[in-house]
Amino acid sequence: MVHIELCPRYEKAIEILGKRWTGLILRILQDGPKRFSDFTENIPGLSAKVLTVRMKELEQQGIVCRSVYAETPVRIEYSLTDKGMALQPVLDAIQSWATQWV
């Protein structure tokens, strides 16, 4: 039996990206800034509670930026940071794989 030592950085990346809904959230953000309702309208089954948790996690990781606009009513938009935009080739590769194999 061959023992494979996993890279801790790879493990952390999979932990972040492997959470339910995260890939779909990031895919939607590839088209530009989005509001909270854009996610709940485009991802059936995604609850507001879980979306809030995922967005906070992605923001803490520096993948997503939350912008608050002092308007009436207050407008909040989410967008990808440079770190988040660097995931585009990864998400595109997953899409290619899914198109061929899923």
List, for residues 31-83, the tens digit of each pLDDT value.
Answer: 999 999 999 999 999 999 999 999 999 999 999 999 999 999 999 999 999 99
Q: For residues 29 and 86, what is the distance between their CA atoms, to the nearest angstrom? A: 12
Q: 5 falls in which pLDDT band (50, 70, 90)?
A: confident
- The phi and psi torsions of 78 (rounded to 5 degrees) equal -115, 140
Query: Domains along the chain?
Result: 8-101 (1.10.10.10)
Using DSSP, state whether 44 is helix, strand or coil.
Answer: coil
| Per-residue pLDDT at 3 | 75
